[in-house]
Amino acid sequence: MNNVITQLPRHHFGHVTDKVLRSLSQGENVLVTGMPGFGRVYFPKFIKKLLAENYSDIKTLNIDTDLLDKQSCNAINSQVKEQLVLVANKDLTLALKELSVTTRIVFIVEGVSPNTAREILHLITSYIQLNPGRISVLTIARCSALRSVTLNSSEGAVLFENQYIIPAFDQKGTIRMIGINNKRYGLKILPAQYEEVHRVTGGNPGLVLYFCIYLSEFELKTCKSLQHALSFPPLLSRVKDIADIFFHEALQISEKVGIINSEGKVFSELVYAYLGNFPVIERDSMLSRLSVREQRIFTVLRENYNTLVEKEKIAKVLQIPTNASLPWSAYKAVERLKAKIAPQYSILTIKGKGFILTEIQ
């Protein structure tokens, strides 16, 4: 992977790179995220390389939450001590205070999610408070960390002055990723296939890789069909990771990370095809009485049981064109469903907002 990092041009991740470097060089705290597959593994290593090349007075310290046992503070402190090469009895707090006087410190925290963030952010906040402006943090987070609770320190203050989203690649970026994958994995994607790869994947690095593996695995010059591509388990898994954000997070998060654009269009043909035919949870014989559209609405509501599902999300699940009357179409579809799922389930309509599925006791 280090060989790949050294070969990436500075603009590989777009303008986000310079924004992150500028913020960190000014002692500000930064949160970076994107839709699943956005480069969560590559980006922190890329930033660490650029910091080392361009800022001799900055020392980076890595914290990988995937390596922690229950996100223990002791485990985090051990990671930091090891990187600082401290003797066992040396106090970490004192060492960070002393070092930050002459050297700016940037903690790079990888893998933060709502399930891991609270304890980690509490500890990182205590580090920063030792010398604010001289000690800062770059957090590479799953996009679920955009929920407001994870953006606050334990004291309730906003921890990250800057939040940046890594967008999907444009076609040039997709072609660059294809070249990297060809070399690293021995794939043989040809120039004639570049446009299709970008169109189908929407430039998401994770989808680019596994769609290219799919084409290579089946020795295809072009995709047989989107459904055939989605039958390839590794690719389906990556598509599902993205679709799960749409299904289970607030619609605002899907829009913020680029899964849905401002016009309501899904960024990738693969993801769009999955959303149009996503599997229905088959637990109730009642489902056989529902139309396909009703089954899909019911599945999304049940996936978010007892939680508000925005009317706009229902409209997008039904893939109603954006120029149609979205709220009215969604309301009509849900109203038809209500009668068919009674008396086992009830759908509460929150006027102007959306719907909540509850079970009738």
Q: Are residues 155 and 201 both part of a single domain? A: no
* Three-state secondary-structure class, residue 297: helix
Write down the pLDDT at residue 193. Answer: 98
Q: Are residues 32 and 161 both part of a single domain? A: yes
Q: Are residues 210 and 250 both part of a single domain? A: yes
CB atoms within 10 A of CB 157: 8
Q: Are residues 184 and 100 both part of a single domain? A: no
With a CB cutoff of 8 Å and minimum separation 6, the contacts of 94 are none
Q: How far apart are CA 24 and CA 191, in angstroms?
A: 38
Listed in sequence order, the DSSP H helices in the chain are: 2-7, 16-25, 42-54, 73-84, 92-102, 117-128, 171-185, 194-201, 205-217, 226-230, 233-248, 251-257, 269-276, 292-303, 311-317, 326-341
Write down the pLDDT at residue 113. Answer: 64
Write down the pLDDT at residue 149. Answer: 44
Distance (Å) of CA 86 to CA 2, 67, 76, 77, 343:
26, 20, 14, 11, 65
- Write the CATH number for 69: 3.40.50.300
CA Rg value for the chain: 23
Q: Are residues 148 and 187 both part of a single domain? A: no
Angle at 138 between CA 235 and CA 149, to 5 degrees: 80
Are 338 and 276 contacting, i.e. CB atoms less than 8 angstroms apart? no
One pLDDT digit (tens) per residue for the chain, 361 residues: 678 898 899 999 999 999 999 999 999 999 999 999 999 889 999 999 999 999 999 999 998 776 555 557 778 888 888 899 886 678 899 999 999 999 999 999 887 765 655 677 778 888 999 999 999 999 888 888 787 544 554 454 457 778 999 999 999 999 999 999 999 999 999 999 999 999 999 999 999 999 999 999 999 999 999 999 999 999 999 999 999 998 888 888 999 999 988 777 889 999 988 987 765 545 456 667 788 888 888 888 988 889 999 888 888 877 766 555 556 777 888 888 998 888 889 999 998 889 999 988 7
Q: Are residues 122 and 215 both part of a single domain? A: no
Q: Are residues 14 and 131 both part of a single domain? A: yes
Write down the pLDDT at residue 158. Answer: 52
Structure token digits, residue 223: 């995709």
Give the percent of the chain with pLDDT over 70: 87
- Write the CATH number for 331: 1.10.10.10
With a CB cutoff of 8 Å and minimum separation 6, the contacts of 119 are 71, 73
What secondary structure, in 3-state letters, does 27-95 show? CCCEEEECCCCCCCCHHHHHHHHHHHHHCCCEEEEEEEHHHCCCCCHHHHHHHHHHHHCCCCCCCHHHH
Q: How far apart are CA 138 and CA 119, in angstroms?
A: 16
Give the domain-ending residue among 225, 245, 276: 276
* Full residue range of the structural domain in which residue 62 is found: 2-165
Write down the pLDDT at residue 105. Answer: 96
Give the residue among 156, 230, 221, 213 at the shortest CA–CA distance from 193.
221
Distance (Å) of CA 154 to CA 74, 138, 140, 275, 347:
18, 17, 19, 37, 36
Q: Which residue's structure tokens are 């995709």?
A: 223
Q: Are residues 260 and 132 both part of a single domain? A: no
Q: How far apart are CA 77 and CA 168, in angstroms?
A: 34
Burial class (CB in 10 A: 0-12, 13-18, 19+), 192: exposed
Q: Which residue's structure tokens are 């609405």?
A: 297
Write down the pLDDT at residue 249. Answer: 87
Structurally, the chain folds into a number of domains equal to 3
Give the residue among 272, 311, 294, 310 at the shortest CA–CA distance from 345.
294
Write down the pLDDT at residue 256. Answer: 92
Helix 42-54 × helix 16-25 angle, to 10°: 50
Q: Are residues 176 and 319 both part of a single domain? A: no
Q: Are residues 27 and 175 both part of a single domain? A: no
Spell out the long-range contacts of 174-177 with Cβ–Cβ below 8 A and sequence spacing 24 or more.
174/198, 174/201, 174/203, 174/208, 176/9, 176/12, 177/205, 177/208, 177/209
Q: Are residues 8 and 154 both part of a single domain? A: yes
Give the domain-ending residue among 248, 276, 304: 276
Are 203 and 171 contacting, i.e. CB atoms less than 8 angstroms apart? yes
Give the residue among 159, 140, 160 at the shortest CA–CA distance from 38.
140
Q: How far apart are CA 114 and CA 137, in angstroms?
A: 17
In this structure, the strands spanning 354-359 and 30-33 are unpaired
Q: Are residues 20 and 133 both part of a single domain? A: yes
Give the residue among 28, 214, 215, 225 at the shortest CA–CA distance from 138.
28
Give the domain-ending residue among 131, 165, 199: 165
CB atoms within 10 A of CB 63: 25
**Full-model pTM:** 0.83
Burial class (CB in 10 A: 0-12, 13-18, 19+), 97: middle
